[in-house]
Structure 1
Amino acid sequence: MLSEAELVYVKDTLPFWEELSGQDQKELADAMKLQEFKAGTWLHRGDQDCSGLFLLKSGQIRTYFISETGREITLYRLFERDVCIMTASCMMKNITFEVHIEVEKDTQAYLLPMTIVSGMSDTLLPVKSFLNELMASRFSDVMWVMEQVLFTSFDKRLANFLMEQIAIEDSLTLHITQEKIASHLGSAREVVTRMLKYFQQEGVVRLFRGGIKVIDEEQLYRMTDPNSYRHRPS
């Protein structure tokens, strides 16, 4: 059973809540459970589970795809008040690819069990509409990534990533390895290393063991593609 404070959080985050009947609200509130996940663990791995929707209370998760050669590429990341739909991927019958969802920072999330979500989406139009809009938004994120991979040069992609990381961390000092950056961008570590060394030569960043210090944020932004740079709201 959710506390009053938790109910307020859920009501503020789920747009369909007020359109539910009192009985449906009670059923959903009774079924929801707050779960905690440590950084480095998984919410979802391929098609191995179909838990339901996760509503993030705090933390950060990463949804990514693994190619046949074992290379990773980040599709999108989710934060506080975001809803993770890929943990309910069994609802999406026509999806044939597998995604993995990694916990990047210690995370608390409310689980909306699959049985409840599926039942309500079948009978309640506001819930079905919310899920359809959520699915469309996530696939828009995926298409944006594919567009970047296919049509944007790697220096601009790397600059975009660093600018987004600055926004996420709210710091010009980024504690992230070059191997991790390569995983986010679907590239090889050697490619990331060469480009970061070029950025360093240009006076944009300073590299240190286990991280990057952005020296000239304005120049870094000029290196991005302004039409494709996405600033993550705080």
Structure 2
Amino acid sequence: MLDKNELTYVATHFDFWDKLNPLEKNIFENNIVKVKYNKGFNLHSSDSECLGVLLIKSGGLRVYILSEDGREVTLYRLSPNDVCVLSASCILNNITFDVHIDAESDTEAYLLNIGAFSRLHSQNVYVENFAYKNTIERFSDVMWAFEQILFLSFDKRLAIFLLDELNKSDSDEITLTQDQIAKYIGSAREVVSRMLKAFQNQGILEQSRGSIRITDKNKLKHLI
């Protein structure tokens, strides 16, 4: 069972908490635990059992789909204080596609197991609304991901991705490999490599093993 401070933190991110009756709060408290996942660990896939709902405390998760030829298409990424509901997709009606969830880095989270969440979801409309609201919000990210793949040229997609990564950090360096970038934007490593080389030739960035340094952010913005 979580201590008082942990429970307070968790309650602020599950906004249905105040709508639970005493019995439901007891179910919640007795079925939520702290979990840790190492970088690269696969939490959820089409072959795994339904996990439950996750609240990320530190680290990050990547939610993606896998094509028949093994290509990964990132749907969205989750950061500290984000809630992951698709890890409990087995109880959400009309969610019929298989998603995979990996730890992007060493991650700590709070997991409300699927049994407890399913029970609360079925008997409390506020829990049900929370689940569907979160899912709808994330599907906005999914639509954005597919819009980029379908309608934007690859140089624009890569430029948008690099700028987003810059905005998450306080430096001009992005510590990602070409393989990682390819997975995040749904492309092949060879395509990423060629475009990064083109950006480098234009004086936009410099590459080193496992990292990219943006040398001209304005030029990068002009590509969008």
**Which bin holds the TM-score, normalised by the shorter protein?**
over 0.9
Distance 1:128 1:170 in 2: 38
Query: Pairwise mapping of residues 151-170 of structure 1 onto structure 2 (< 5 A)?
Result: 151-170=151-170
Query: Pairwise mapping of residues 1-234 of structure 1 onto structure 2 (< 5 A)?
Result: 1-224=1-224
Distance 1:72 1:105 in 2: 18
Q: Shift in Å at residue 221 of structure 1? A: 2.2
Distance 1:55 1:190 in 2: 35
**Percent of aligned positions with the same letter in both sequences?**
44
CA RMSD of aligned residues (A): 1.3
Q: Secondary structure at the match of 2:58?
A: strand
Amino acid of the structure 2 residue aligned with 1:125: V
Q: Shift in Å at residue 14 of structure 1? A: 1.1
Bigger CA drift: 18-27 or 48-57? 18-27
Amino acid of the structure 2 residue aligned with 1:108: E
Specify every segment of 5 or more residues in structure 1 that has no aligned partner in the other structure, as ranges.
225-234
Q: Secondary structure at the match of 2:218?
A: helix
Task: Map Cα deviations across residues 55-96 of structure 1 (whole Å, 9 max, x no partner).
Answer: 111111101111111111111000111111121111134333
Task: Map Cα deviations across residues 149-171 of structure 1 (whole Å, 9 max, x no partner).
Answer: 11011111001111111223333
TM-score by length of 2: 0.95
Distance 1:27 1:91 in 2: 18
Distance 1:72 1:101 in 2: 11
Amino acid of the structure 1 residue aligned with 2:154: F
CA contact (8 A) 1:35 1:109 kept: yes
Bigger CA drift: 140-149 or 93-102? 93-102
CA contact (8 A) 1:49 1:87 kept: no
CA contact (8 A) 1:75 1:141 kept: yes
Amino acid of the structure 1 residue aligned with 2:204: V
Q: Shift in Å at residue 195 of structure 1? A: 0.9
Distance 1:169 1:38 in 2: 22
CA contact (8 A) 1:62 1:103 kept: yes
Aligned length: 224
